[in-house]
Amino acid sequence: MQRGSEGPLEVDLSELSGRSYRCIENCALCCLCQPELLPDEEARFRADPRLAEGVTDRHISSEVKGAALKLRGAHGSCWFLAGRRCRIYGDRPHFCRAFPVSVFVGWRVQLNANLSCRGIGLPGERLEDVGKGLLEEYGDSRLRDELKAAGRVFSDFVKNCREAWVAQSFSSLRDAGRALGDELMDGIGLSRVLTYAETGRTAQNSPARDIVKKVRRTEPEADIEERALIDGTELFDLHDLSLLPIYLDENLTWRIFRLVGRKIVGYELAEDGGTKETSSTDPDEVELLPMGAGAKEAMKEYLGTVNSRDCFLGHAAYLCDSENYDYNLAQVYLGALANNALDLWWRASFLAHLKGKDSLGRPEVREGIVFFDMDLLDLPTIGAFI
Ligand code: SF4
Ligand code: SF4
Proximal ligand: closest to the CA of 92: 2
If you average pLDDT over residues 362-370, what whole number do you get? Answer: 97
If you average pLDDT over residues 144-159, what whole number do you get? Answer: 93
If you average pLDDT over residues 3-23, what whole number do you get? Answer: 84
Phi, psi of 236 (to 5 degrees): -105, 5
Angle at 254 between CA 249 and CA 256, to 5 degrees: 100
Measure 69 CA to ligand 2 centroid, in angstroms.
Answer: 8
> Can you give the pLDDT at residue 73?
79
Measure 37 CA to ligand 2 centroid, in angstroms.
Answer: 12
Pairing of strands 125-126, 20-21: antiparallel
Proximal ligand: closest to the CA of 90: 2
> Can you give the pLDDT at residue 6?
66
If you average pLDDT over residues 97-126, what whole number do you get? Answer: 95
Ligand 2 atom with least separation from CA of 91? 1
Is the pLDDT score of 5 beyond 80? no
Ligand 1 atom with least separation from CA of 28? 5
Is the pLDDT score of 3 beyond 60? no
Question: What residue segments make up the domains of the chain, in order of their start?
Answer: 2-145, 168-225+286-385, 227-285
Is the pLDDT score of 61 beyond 60? yes
> Can you give the pLDDT at residue 74?
75
Is the C-beta atom of 335 inside 6 A of ligand 2? no
pLDDT tens-place string over residues 279-327? 999 999 999 999 999 999 999 999 999 999 999 999 999 999 999 999 9
**What residues contact 23, with CB distance under 8 A and at least 6 apart?**
119, 124
If you average pLDDT over residues 165-171, what whole number do you get? Answer: 95
If you average pLDDT over residues 254-258, what whole number do you get? Answer: 95
Is the C-beta atom of 177 inside 6 A of ligand 2? no
Q: Which of 26, 27, 31 is the best mutation target for the ligand 2 pocket, counting ligand atoms within 8 Å of the beta carbon and taking the most?
A: 31
Is the C-beta atom of 88 inside 6 A of ligand 2? yes
Measure 289 CA to ligand 1 centroid, in angstroms.
Answer: 29
Is the C-beta atom of 35 inside 6 A of ligand 2? yes
Across 151-160, 232-241, 334-343, least confident range: 232-241
> Can you give the pLDDT at residue 38?
86
* Alpha-carbon span 236 to 230, nearest angstrom: 10
CATH number of 168-225+286-385: 1.10.20
- Band of residue 111 on the pLDDT scale cut at 50, 70, 90: very high
Measure 254 CA to ligand 2 centroid, in angstroms.
Answer: 16
* CA-nearest residue, atom 6 of ligand 1: 30
Pocket lined around ligand 1, Cβ cut-off 6 Å: 23-24, 27-30, 99-100, 117-119
Pairing of strands 125-126, 2-4: unpaired
CA-CA-CA-CA torsion sign (382, 384, 367, 239) = positive
Is the pLDDT score of 236 beyond 50? yes
* Alpha-carbon span 149 to 132, nearest angstrom: 22
Measure 302 CA to ligand 1 centroid, in angstroms.
Answer: 19
Is the pLDDT score of 63 beyond 60? yes
> Can you give the pLDDT at residue 1?
39
Q: Which of 96, 114, 254, 271 is the best mutation target for the ligand 2 pocket, counting ligand atoms within 8 Å of the beta carbon and taking the most?
A: 96
User: 333 with 178: CB under 8 angstroms?
Assistant: no
Phi, psi of 154 (to 5 degrees): -65, -40
If you average pLDDT over residues 342-347, what whole number do you get? Answer: 96
Ligand 1 atom with least separation from CA of 100? 7
Measure 328 CA to ligand 1 centroid, in angstroms.
Answer: 39
* Mean of all residue pLDDT scores within the chain: 92
* CA-nearest residue, atom 4 of ligand 2: 96
Is the pLDDT score of 349 beyond 50? yes
Measure 351 CA to ligand 2 centroid, in angstroms.
Answer: 28
351-360's contacts with Cβ under 8 Å and 24+ in sequence apart are 351/247, 352/289, 353/281, 353/285, 353/286, 353/287, 353/289, 354/266, 354/279, 354/281, 357/289, 358/289, 359/289, 359/290, 359/291, 359/292, 359/295, 360/289, 360/290, 360/291, 360/292, 360/295
